[in-house]
Structure 1
Amino acid sequence: MTFKELELIEPILKALDQVNYEIPTTIQEQAIPILLQGNDLLGCAQTGTGKTAAFSIPILQRLYKSDKRKGIRALILTPTRELAIQIGENFEEYGRYTGLKHTVIFGGVPQKPQVDALTRGVQILIATPGRLLDLQAQGFISLKGLEYFVLDEADRMLDMGFVHDIKRVLKLIPEKRQTLLFSATMPPEIEKLANTILSSPRKVEVTPASSTVETIRQSVYFVEKAEKKDLLLHLLKAPDIESVLIFTRTKHGADKITRILNKNGIPAEAIHGNKSQNARQRALTAFKAHALRVLIATDIAARGIDVDQLSHVINYELPNIPETYVHRIGRTGRAGHEGIAISFCESEELPYLKDIQKLIGLQIPVVKDHPFVTQAGSQAQATKTEEIKAKAKENKVWRGNKANGDFWRRKKQGQAKTATKK
């Protein structure tokens, strides 16, 4: 199927052609017809599946074909400023020939430019919850005429504690609207939220949230904490690592790695919540343009990083939430391209690795041939192998004993029956 077969209008097809979009992804193919018909949608899709285009294209088309009344008619609510900016860029690309106006608002920067854009008038608003509620309270935003509401990255919204803000936003928008909820995972809290805000929704599920994209080649290096930096420097010497996103659990860790890499002649930047918006955006722009080879990020700051042909993701520290691993490595291997995900695992992180492998249903291959291999990791892997073998042997013995016991039990019962007859 092509985008032309989805019955899209000419202004959108022209824009898609300019960004070389020909074949829709699975979620786009499934979601666009549903949304063009005006249905509510519950979308379960992990990062890299093309969900932004799946909801932005139908919204642009329906607004274009409707009356041209002014005011905010579509609201996309998203958890982070990076993701908001990314979505704004997508609306700019797909809607450039529609004449529809949009703007992006988020905290951490002066509000005047955002207020000026709102005053000039927009039909589409992309926002983070805090700044949205702030400007609404100041009287700069009215959502009374809203027709389309998108709650993007709903699981991350709840993780970041935005549930109360979401409830406040829901009180500001009309009950009669088309609502779209997208989430990479579907825990009970998300299903409960979906039931309260969606009306007879159609469900689209693309790539189960617990799975990892098949085009991503995964591996794990056992290495102790003190030698992680040396292993990282060793790996970054390889010229085939064209662009790499490195994940840490903390802002302090991201800054520390950045200093180490720059000190060793490897230009790198970090993005996280303590960085100014200008600094974050500057680093992100350079990374997307492939002018910067190495970017270090925390999980929250990394939402919204969408880089064409990102070759590598490195988990410098394993996440303690297994679903986060899926989100992290999903930054590579996008749009059918191949990607490589490397994870460092120290002794204390072995339980995290176990949880991750259980979630994705895969034993991540271990790289044993490197200068900093840890004995603890190797022993842990060997112990695990022995445990599996021992368990299998134990099950075999148990099955044998059970079968043997059943035989003698049946024989004894048979003898008892014979004695009774006599």
Structure 2
Amino acid sequence: MATGPSVPRPGRRPLIGHGSYAEALRIGEILRKETVGGMLLVAAAAAAIIWANSPAADSYFALRDLKVGYEPWHLDLSLGAWAADGLLAVFFFLVGLELKREIVAGDLRQVSKAIVPIAAAVGGVAVPAMIYAAVNWGDGESLRGWAVPTATDIAFAVAVLAVIGSHLPTALRLFLLTLAVVDDLLAIAIIAVFYTSEINIPALLLTLVPVTVYAFLAQKYRRFFGLKPAAAWLILLPIGVVAWALLHASGIHATIAGVVLGFTIPVLRSKDSGGPAAGPGLAEIFEHRFRPVSAGFAVPVFAFFSAGVALGGFQGLASALTDPVALGIIAALVLGKPVGILTATWLMARFTRARLDPSLRWVDLAGVGLLAGIGFTVSLLIAELSFGLGEPANDHAKVAILTASLSAAVLAAVLLGARNRAYSRIEAEERADTDQDGIPDVYQQSSGS
């Protein structure tokens, strides 16, 4: 596989383009926000591991397993389950919102730009799943975890990129964000299809009622009761909670409700973002309000209750890491993710009219592939769904997820850190070419072509 930049050919569109200037500014803002969220995520996971392996370990597990709720509504859940089923719904709401924004108002509304990261995400899901299955072939219990290494932790990966990639091309950052969002969508589909054992049809049908009301009010919020966008969430939030509770009672994982509700929110970019709206739309308002809740509270709390595992000293750690479940997860995340992403991208370049943007090299995509190997939040969730909370296989899977995510982060930091230093010179040249309007020429040339 070539490591140099692709030579432009007449009649071929960029495989990974710069995107619009407004999109570049938005991606940069997301990167800055996710840095703090990623740090909180790491801190929460570290606190859980330390507490779970301290003399006070029993108190950690007692807190995690403490049941709170109302049994007749199927909501008599442990605090750990509330974090996985309830708080993560906020995270998945933002995933659905982000995906819709990319499709409706982002650069992904163009099929030519969307197809490459989508193909890369599919490759990044399929290859890790096959590697895990190959390692655990013949063991039916272990094979239940085939989907654990398919997910990318968008907050963790973007946080690492924000710390080490200040000079990396915007095209690369947009590619990672889009890939991670599509990756999450695939993981959500896997959870809904493969981890739903029994469906309560009446509860599922009843879920359609609050979802329909939610969608109607979200679309008509400017006229209905004279609501302002900033106040719409006060009415929509209770309706969303009802939809979440009914979907939970139906047997489908309740986080799916977050994605569904996210897709009902209307997306309309403001004039500041290059759109027709006079001010920020409801999607922008909700993203502004709920992203801090997700990154600063929901995901760290979930990580705190999910990452805690009693290692049992060096021997326990060695035993966990030699389990085929752990070996499959580590190989799938650290090797399978970059191989799948690079292979799918190369196939698009080889068999379509697309080409790699001249500002990028294949080694840059290898770094993004390694970043995608950081499977944390959704991987921990799927591990619990696969093996059950407190089961040895689940504990071994947690150790493997943490080990693989740390390894992928370190390898990506080394590779992309070196590339970041190389790209700093390119960024200096682009600043020199910036016109008086403050927009680098590269974006004006892209939009005009």
TM-score of the aligned structures, taking structure 1 as reference length: 0.23
Q: Which has the higher helix share?
A: 2
Question: Relative contact order, CA 8 A, sep 6+: which one is greater?
Answer: 2
Bigger Rg, which one: 1
TM-score of the aligned structures, taking structure 2 as reference length: 0.22
Q: Which has the higher strand share?
A: 1
